[in-house]
Structure 1
Amino acid sequence: MSARWLDAELDGADVTPERRSKPKKKKLLGRRKLDDLTAADPENIADDTIRRLIDSGHITEIVAELKSGKEATAYVARGPRGPVLVKLYRELEARSFKNDAVYREGQVVLDERAARAMTGRSRKGLEMLQGMWVSAEYAHLWTLWRAGLNVPEPLVGPLPFDYDATVPAVLMRLIGTEDSVAPRLSDARLTPAEAQSAWQQSVQGLADLLRLGYAHGDYSTYNLLWWENTVIMIDFPQLTTRQNSNFSELLRRDAQSLATSFRKHGLQTDGETTLREVQRLARGKGPEPRIVLP
């Protein structure tokens, strides 16, 4: 999280939990209705975030809802550089998945007021956690994209100053086309040869993450896309590093989840065997880094 965003959020912030005797009622931003995100005249769009993304030139319009998950809903949009995927996060209080502490362990928040606000989960603290969650996905996407891994190209950044302005949305290049979006690997129908190729690519992807010092935290065919015989890794806000004391367990869980979810495609293996292969591959050479022009 950038210093600019943090200073703005902390200005006048109450870093203690709000009193239950005086709850401040407000409508939580959960799953947005598509009608609130579209209009013939952009000025009439009900959703503030989408109007801001259009006004800033990041997108021109929302086309369709793609998928709704535990933390966010993904939408297909049009932009100046082609099809865009807009991942619009719900407010923390409106998510079905709320306990992110296991992924954040080991992170250092230097500003004591911010740390207290987030620990106390005050209103400002929850807003900061939301900003960190969104900014983390951008930062991870840029790191992995530059390192040459098969991930969607982030469309805002690479400076935090730029992508802080899109919170609570993350914008990335759409995998597939507007009319034919890449399916999740869990939904793809594969031949035996394709399944074997997809498995090898998926294991290699987890190894590439490990080589960079990361565990995904939620790695399975549900967070892998299949497009033109290529596996694309997605969903990175919970990506964690070796500074997290849960790192080994999260990596082991990733390997187990991958092995379990691939049984649908006829591959029978176990988590420990998968983990050993991931660790072996991680000692090899990684992909060629991408050159990102300023």
Structure 2
Amino acid sequence: MEPAVAAPSPPWIEKCPWGASPLARTPCSLTEVMSEELAKELQQQEENAVFPHVSGIDKAILIGEGTETSSDLLLAQMLQMEFDREYDAQLRREEIKLNGDSKVSISFENYRMVHPYEDSESSEDEVDWQDTRHDPYKPDKPSTNPKRGFAGKGKEITTKHDEVTCGRRNTARMENFAPEFQVGDGIGMDLKLSNRVFNELKQHSYSEQRRSARIHEKKEHSTSDQAVDSKTRLLLYKMVNSGLLESINGCISTGKESVVFHANGGSLGDKMVPAECAIKVFKTTLNEFKNRDKYIKDDYRFKDRFSKLNPRKIIRMWAEKEMHNLTRMQKVGISCPSVVLLKKHILVMSFIGQDHVAAPKLKDVQLSNEDMKQAYHQALHMMQQLYTECNLVHADLSAYNMLWHMGKIWLIDVSQSVEPTHPHGLEFLFRDCRNVSQFFQKAGVMDAMSERELFNAVSSLDITADNEGDFLAEIEALEKINEDHVQRHGKRVEYDSDESPVDD
């Protein structure tokens, strides 16, 4: 028998001179490499890496295996699902790339398009990532933190100041922060915060709480330049619904302390409301009232109530004070708005103007020499009436608070007006006289008196002084006499022309 002759080795197999020949490599063509089976196998490996928790059945549903695809809608849904799955796979790769081996990692979970391995029907096994009830690193689990104290010979001593113990305890204490402050701790995250980081986060949380409270306070309880808060709007709606006002048309003017709106009047029971009304809404912000309490806290009509009210209710007292002053002025015939209704910090008055157009301020109106002279004498007469008959001092009288309507002057804005016996009443009167005198002198009125002459003409006091400093010194002396009399007798006095106090 002839010995078997070994078949010649293929040319691609090289013989190894030091050992056994290597295994033969099975040749494959390019067609087999690009075959659909190999592509599916690679795709399956990628899916297992991206979605390790997805079962085979769920994957078949995702891919659409064994599903009827004759419907265009179903085919479109399958294509969209495939696109979303590829998008989530890309997110997963980016997430792994960014996180690396870091213990504190970021998650793109909120940006995922589909969640094939989550069951929305069952909520027993669902755990919020911020829920730390089952967190193994909570301090109430003694097994997670090393025991403190001496553990035996040759072992380290663990105290309450241990870095790991403090870090985990600080992480758990972050649960006591404000609900709006996202702490970012969750299950499976062994997050440890140093004392310095924890204290900075705590201080930041308190700062955010105070800032949020300030924003809420300003939004809910304050008025802006041409807007009102929700409570003020409710009061205005009630006035319209009750028939007191037919409509509220818009803002007329804004000031430091109030906003004035125009409205069409209705009826108040048997009393007819003017056809056109002005609604004065006192701003409920306290910034402009901090330096103006001297006008009301020393006014004996409101002094007892002023000390018992909180700052926000004092603003309502301003509206009440203007109502009383306007009523007192109207009784003696001074041209001023008539009061219709007072509701908290909203004062409804008659409108000085016509056809929704407010009367111009004396500062802005252009008058002839004769009309300006007539306006000066009207202002002088009104100041005398206000002082002698109403027993009031305007305390903020100027060309900005005098309107020119129907050929005469109208006084407005009397919320700060006080009585002459006020501790600073005569000083306020002298300031009003200076504003009025300077305005009409600049307007070219030849008969306009100086501020000292006008002060004596209005108050009937014969104060003789060569300069303004001595004049003010005598005014302060009179006010001091009045205050001393109040402290001794408990009642105020009236100023007589001989500069001596006279009992009421």
Matched length: 238
C-alpha displacement at 1:242, in angstroms?
A: 3.0
**For the Cα contact (< 8 Å) 2:226–2:254, is it kept in 1?**
no
Match of 1:272 among 432, 446, 452: 452
Q: For structure 2, which runs of at least 5 residues remain unmatched after alignment? A: 1-206, 267-273, 462-495, 497-504
User: Identity, % of aligned pairs?
Assistant: 22
Instruction: Give 2:257's aligned residue.
Output: 71
What aligned pairs does 1:63-142 form with structure 2 within 5 A after superposition? 63-80=249-266, 81-93=274-286, 95-104=287-296, 105-107=298-300, 108-110=302-304, 115-116=307-308, 118=309, 125-142=310-327
Matched, 1:29 2:201: no
C-alpha displacement at 1:145, in angstroms?
A: 0.9
Distance 1:260 1:154, change over 3 A: same
Instruction: Give 2:362's aligned residue.
Output: 185
Match of 1:219 among 393, 397, 400: 397
Matched, 1:59 2:252: no
Q: For structure 1, which runs of at least 5 residues remain unmatched after alignment? A: 1-20, 38-43, 119-124, 157-162, 284-294
Distance 2:242 2:326 in 1: 21
C-alpha displacement at 1:280, in angstroms?
A: 4.6
Structure of higher RCO (CA pairs closer than 8 Å, 6+ residues apart): 1
Distance 1:181 1:256 in 2: 27
Q: Can you list the C-alpha shifts for 1:131-187, whole angstroms capped at 9, x where unaligned?
A: 11011111111111122111111112xxxxxx2xx1221111111212432111111
**For the Cα contact (< 8 Å) 1:221–1:262, is it kept in 2?**
no
Distance 1:265 1:97 in 2: 32
CA RMSD of aligned residues (A): 2.8
After the TM superposition, list the runs of 4 or more consecutive aligned residues in structure 1 that deviate by more than 4 angstroms. Answer: 21-24
Distance 1:102 1:45, change over 3 A: closer
Distance 1:215 1:46 in 2: 30
**For the Cα contact (< 8 Å) 1:29–1:90, is it kept in 2?**
yes
Classify the secondary structure of the residue corresponding to 2:403.
strand
Classify the secondary structure of the residue corresponding to 2:400.
helix
Q: With the length of structure 1 as denominator, give the TM-score of the two structures.
A: 0.72
Distance 1:58 1:265, change over 3 A: farther
**For the Cα contact (< 8 Å) 1:190–1:265, is it kept in 2?**
no
Tell which structure's C-alpha radius of gyration is larger.
2
Q: Aligned partner of 1:190: which letter?
A: L
Distance 1:280 1:242 in 2: 12
**For the Cα contact (< 8 Å) 2:363–2:399, is it kept in 1?**
yes
Q: Aligned partner of 2:374: which letter?
A: S
Distance 1:53 1:275, change over 3 A: same
